[in-house]
Amino acid sequence: MSSNRFVTATRAVTYPLLSEGAVAFNGSTISVDHSSYMAQHDLVYHMVPTLSALAMPLGDGDLGAMVWCPEKLTAQLQKADLWDDPLPSWEPSTTLEQSGPIVKTAEQWRLLSAGRLAIDCVPSLFAEPVRYEQRLSPYSATLHIMADSPAGSCQVTAFVAANTGVLVLRYQDQSLRTVQRRIEVSLWRQAHLFALGETIGILQALADRRYALMVRVQGREVKAGMRNSHQVYLEIAPSRSCDFTLYAAVATVPRNGDPVSAARAQLQSAMAKGYDTLLREHRQHWAAFWQKSFLRLDGGEYDPFATYLENLWYLNLYYLAACARSADAPLPNGALWLSQQDRRPTPALYNGTALRTLLAPLPVANHPEIGVPIVETYHRLLPTMAAKTSRDMGLGGAYFPERFNRFGQSFDVSSDAHNNGLYTALLLWQLWRHAPDPFLLKERVYPLLRACVQFTLERRETVVEGGPLSDAQEDFRERAALSRALRALLWMSTTLDVDEEETRAQWRQALQELGGDMPFDPIYELLPFSCQNAEEFSMQLREWLQEMHQTPQGWLAPEMHVPRLDYSAQLLLLIQSLLLREESLPSLALTRSNINPIAWEEGFGGEIPTAIHLFPSLPSHWSAAFTLAAPGGFRVSAEVLEGKVRYIAVRSLVGGLCRLVNPWGEGATVRILDGRQTLAEVSGPILAFETVAGGTYLIERSDFPLSRAVRIRFHGRRNEACKTAGRLLLGLPALPTS
């Protein structure tokens, strides 16, 4: 453990002091200087990324950019809704809303890149530099480049401005002699490229939409020109030094719309604000994002893998957030970050398991907003899927295939997978249980879960002996999922005051016929491996990261160097499973006779009784601290030092019963405090106590109270190098000098 990770107001906190009882709890949550702490997780290159596979990603959720330097600074832009659908052929007996275009070939579905832009200098300032640093800061979602070469020096700051849809790039250079500079926009496909006055760009018509990419410069006079049908440029008068800001916007409109006017309006709005204002607002947006959760892992000086995992958690959470602001769910196979023209390893189709995997870590990470595009995609498709289910299967409710396009058309190879919708709806239910929001519950979770349950129940009635449910294992999973879904529906129906009593009676009867309450965790199937032995977890995770080809950017890209966001989400799930997990009381081998009776009361949202299990899989020699979300609308903060839990703090958003597995073990006396008032002293295996909305509760060992602890504040020191853990690498080291 390095001392630079801890400070008080006046001095650094050393490891021996921590072992004597220092904590970062400030009375309500963990005290963190997020700006300096996350600076230690910057991704740093000291080698020029000449290959597109090494490009660094930027994004605001709707517009993405991959940045690398093949002798000239290059960025490939991607828009989240730049669909290149095949030309439609419609079923004569149905409307467009009912069916969508009929295409049987999966490879025909594509999500295109918008084009590339580059800054070209002659002589190049990026060719064989004597010093080079390229830095991606997740905390501010900005990219910085500094290059010193025999020809001169260059400094770049780039970001996709939050909520504006504009790439902003500040470019400065200083050279020993006059340098020629061009800003280029290029596209490998056939399209209309234009160069007018001080603006260059691309205009292209696709099957059902048109898009425009436009680039302008502020701070230098430029002259537009066209090199050929695939490249246009802005030329800057030769000089020894240069300073300008580049703005790039991509607008997508319906086929009869005007994307040029839309892109121009975005550019004008951004340029009116200017670089400094945009950067300040952008930093404020991302600073607020990182305030919502916190995670720290430390394996001591002999096990750097823990800190390496922490770095991966922050980077991959940034990657998920930076591609999640569109009306459409992100494509896990590349999302907004293509760098090899339009190539993806698989077609632009949705995969139900991959989308569920993207959703799965978000509740605990306390970032439900990242899941909004996925939630809205399923909500948008629900009426279409219900109509198709009735027409094609003669069943009620809604069937969601495992593999489908943005219109909901199935591309499943077989018809054995029927529960994509049900499992997804249960993950939305989990999202609400962590972040209770009335709109999410009534308008999104309830309609989807009700439709998927109805379909599954009716399909089960039609199955004959030897049919699809002859697989005993899948039948058990389906019954367990239905059991949990029916309990949730009964609770929602009563709470929201919807449905007739006759419908609820049918659900109760169905629940009884299934065999009653059956625990079901929709996340379990999404984990790449399970490990009961915490000490073996580190080894298995290392092997998995190597097998999935963890890249220098920190994401997983087993095919074509294209990031797989569902694997990023799996990584977050695995890391979070070390720290916090919800478990049913029966699964903990507990009975009513050996715990507080109130612990057996109905769980949040009508669930079977569960408890929050902290540090269930953390290796015994690791230390950790976190602030994460838990079911019931709780925000939980805790610290552990080499396997010894120091305290737990629980903030309740909506009130209600909180149940925790006693982290000190049965028999250890624990004090539960509300402010300075002691609510209870207990020693059982489950700590159960009532909370009120807005209240914060401290749980500590009675014989080791926090009043004895030194109060500290977590901070960090800016990362200056690439990081390694065995054969794993984050960042790029400098090339050895001869």
Query: What pLDDT shows up at residue 94?
Result: 40
HEC letters along 227-261: EECCEEEEEEEEEEEEEEEEEEEEEEEECCCCHHH
Dihedral, 46, 48, 54, 57 alpha carbons, nearest 10: 80
The CATH number that domain 361-522 falls under is 1.50.10.10
> What's the sign of the alpha-carbon dihedral 32, 34, 368, 524?
negative
Count other C-beta atoms under 10 Å from residue 726's C-beta: 12
Q: Could you write out the DSSP letters of every residue in 374-429?
A: HHHHHHHHHHHHHHHHHHHH--SS----SEE-TT--B--SSS----HHHHHHHHHH
Low-confidence residues of the chain: pLDDT under 70: 1-20, 87-104, 413-416, 464-470, 531-532, 591-594, 737-738
656-661/350-351 β-pairing: unpaired
Max CA separation in the chain (angstroms): 85
Query: What pLDDT shows up at residue 110?
Result: 93
Please work out, in degrees rounded to the nearest 5, the angle formed at the alpha carbon of residue 106 by the alpha carbons of 100 and 112: 85
Q: Which phi and psi (to 5°) does residue 430 adopt?
A: -60, -40
Structural domain boundaries in the chain: 361-522
> What's the sign of the alpha-carbon dihedral 63, 69, 73, 74?
negative
| Contact present, 162 and 150 (Cβ < 8 Å) | no
Among residues 167, 106, 175, the alpha carbon closest in space to that of 147 is found at 175
Residue 738 CB partners (closer than 8 Å, separation 6+): none
Query: What pLDDT shows up at residue 681?
Result: 93
Query: What pLDDT shows up at residue 534?
Result: 77
Among residues 145, 138, 154, 166, the alpha carbon closest in space to that of 57 is found at 138
Query: What pLDDT shows up at residue 98?
Result: 43
| Contact present, 683 and 672 (Cβ < 8 Å) | no
Query: What pLDDT shows up at residue 19?
Result: 47
Joined together, the tokens standing for residue 100 give 């969508």
